[in-house]
């Protein structure tokens, strides 16, 4: 185990290197670019024995790694925002082919206006495409989750693609100390990818993806659904195993519980700003507010049971959303509300387009939420609240 100072992008690249991928393909987009620049450098310097395919679009990047993964190779790609949307069709093709492709997404707002800063709309917009979607809180976690993604996606019970989201700039371009396991240790923990049940090889006629009866399509979706459900268990196993072996200090499982023991009120968040929410929770606890945080680590498969459990033991919850579905509410907000049985859930939309939200803002949001509930105002939470303190006229 080595301790290195790495920025998020380089940490992801280190993880990919340790996973000994065979084929890498990507198209540049800010803020993801640094990940694949680092990988290209590793390949050209001979530090990493991978093939690096320089493509002309993100659609092709995912198509290249799809082809390589179908050929049995371990693969990696990365993107952000518009690049992820440009991949959209291929995302489904990869899932429906049940290939364990791993992709990092440095989250970024979707234009117009052009904006390179983080929000979560890009990664959450693809939540129906069948990928396992993890959100990292720290650089260490981005590293750990990337490495674990191979073990999770390639598990025979799963065989689904995995996307690891890290907030653009906030994680991708910020340096933190990272515990990096030794190559041999990782090689022992993460053996080479097992062969697919089928093989596309010359001389053996075999069609992948040809027309079929409608019921076959439905049965294949059902199989993928079951795999996504099984993935919950696999994520728990793999992350716990990893933490036990490498002790990097990040959480495991689908949800991290922070000060939830005995909490009467619950904040729910994903991604990097969860660190700021934790600070706000600490400050409010000192003031006597019984607030805790449930940080969702994986939004797909969605931790229904864990959240239902957490929600049932609190008076009310607030979902801090860095994404929005127009005409409805925050994406995370609607996901959480769908699993809450009786607990009222408030939804606050903040930080869209990378607007900075500090722990002080979270203190104000959480305090307001508790006070509203105690004043009996939770009936007014059906519509999401936009947190924009600089807008004075509403």
Site membership for another protein, residue 19 (CB under 8 A): no
Site for another protein in 73-92 (CB under 8 A): 73, 75, 89-90
Considering only residues 45, 56, 392, 393, which one is a binding residue for another protein as defined by CB under 8 A? Answer: 56
- The CA distance from 329 to 318, in Å, is 13
For the bound state, the minimum distance from the C-beta of residue 27 to another protein, rounded and expressed in Å, comes to: 10
Nearer to another protein, 65 or 311 (CB): 65
Nearer to another protein, 204 or 244 (CB): 204
Strand order in the sheet with 345-349: 255-258, 291-296, 265-269, 316-321, 345-349, 385-386
Considering only residues 112, 197, 209, 288, which one is a binding residue for another protein as defined by CB under 8 A? Answer: 209
Residues 6+ away with beta carbon under 8 Å from 103: 62, 65, 76, 77, 78, 79, 131, 161, 162, 163, 164
Site membership for another protein, residue 213 (CB under 8 A): yes
CA angle 8, 321, 323 (to 5 degrees): 80
Stretch that binds another protein, among 39-47, 63-71, 128-136, 181-189 (CB under 8 A): 63-71
Nearer to another protein, 191 or 389 (CB): 191
Considering only residues 2, 45, 46, 211, which one is a binding residue for another protein as defined by CB under 8 A? Answer: 211
> Cα-Cα-Cα-Cα dihedral of 182, 183, 185, 186, to 10°?
120
Site membership for another protein, residue 93 (CB under 8 A): yes
Cβ atoms of 146 and 20 closer than 8 Å = no
Site membership for another protein, residue 214 (CB under 8 A): no
Considering only residues 1, 47, 57, 182, which one is a binding residue for another protein as defined by CB under 8 A? Answer: 57
Instruction: Quote the DSSP letter at residue 354.
Output: G
For the bound state, the minimum distance from the C-beta of residue 92 to another protein, rounded and expressed in Å, comes to: 9
Beta bridge partners of 2: 180
Pairing of strands 298-300, 75-79: unpaired
Site membership for another protein, residue 207 (CB under 8 A): yes
Nearer to another protein, 23 or 319 (CB): 23
- The CA distance from 81 to 76, in Å, is 17
Cβ atoms of 105 and 136 closer than 8 Å = no
Nearer to another protein, 56 or 393 (CB): 56
For the bound state, the minimum distance from the C-beta of residue 285 to another protein, rounded and expressed in Å, comes to: 51
Residues 6+ away with beta carbon under 8 Å from 106: 8, 9, 31, 32, 35, 78, 79, 80, 165, 166, 167, 168, 169, 171, 172
Nearer to another protein, 46 or 213 (CB): 213
Write out the residues near another protein by the rule CB under 8 A.
Answer: 22-23, 25, 50-51, 53-57, 59-61, 63-73, 75, 89-90, 93, 200-213, 216
């Amino acid at each position: 185990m080595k301790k290195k100072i790495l920025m998020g992008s380089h940490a992801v690249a280190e993880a990919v290197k340790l996973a000994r991928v065979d084929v890498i393909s990507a198209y540049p987009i800010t803020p993801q670019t640094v990940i694949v620049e680092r990988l290209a450098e590793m390949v050209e310097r001979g530090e990493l024995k991978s093939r690096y395919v320089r493509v002309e679009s993100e659609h092709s990047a995912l198509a290249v790694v799809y082809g390589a993964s179908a050929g049995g190779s371990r693969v990696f790609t990365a993107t952000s925002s518009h690049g992820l949307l440009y991949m959209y069709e291929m995302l489904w093709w990869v899932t429906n082919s049940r290939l364990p492709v791993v992709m990092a997404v440095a989250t970024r707002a979707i234009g117009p206006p052009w904006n390179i800063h983080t929000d979560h709309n890009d990664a959450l917009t693809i939540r129906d495409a069948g990928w396992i979607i993890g959100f990292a809180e720290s650089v260490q976690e981005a590293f750990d989750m990337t490495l674990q993604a191979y073990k999770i996606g390639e598990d025979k019970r799963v065989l689904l693609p995995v996307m690891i989201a890290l907030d653009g700039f906030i994680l991708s371009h910020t340096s933190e100390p990272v515990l990096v396991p030794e190559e041999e240790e990782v090689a022992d923990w993460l053996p080479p990818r097992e062969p697919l049940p089928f093989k596309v090889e010359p001389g053996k006629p075999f069609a992948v993806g040809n027309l079929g009866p409608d019921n076959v399509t439905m049965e294949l979706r059902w199989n993928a659904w079951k795999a996504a459900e099984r993935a919950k268990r696999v994520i728990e196993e793999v992350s716990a195993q990893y933490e036990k072996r490498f002790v990097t200090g990040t959480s495991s499982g689908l949800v991290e519980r922070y000060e939830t023991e005995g909490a009467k009120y619950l904040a729910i968040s994903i991604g990097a700003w969860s660190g700021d929410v934790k600070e706000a929770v600490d400050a409010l606890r000192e003031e006597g507010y019984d607030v805790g945080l449930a940080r969702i680590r994986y939004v797909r498969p969605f931790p229904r049971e864990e959240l239902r459990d957490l929600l049932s033991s609190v008076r009310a919850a607030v979902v801090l959303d860095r994404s929005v579905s127009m005409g409805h509410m925050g994406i995370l907000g609607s996901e959480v509300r769908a699993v809450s049985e009786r607990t009222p859930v408030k939804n606050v939309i903040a930080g869209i387009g990378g607007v900075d939200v500090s722990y002080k803002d979270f203190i104000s949001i959480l305090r307001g939420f508790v006070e509203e509930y105690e004043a009996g105002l939770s009936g007014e939470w059906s519509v999401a609240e936009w947190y924009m303190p600089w807008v004075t006229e509403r």
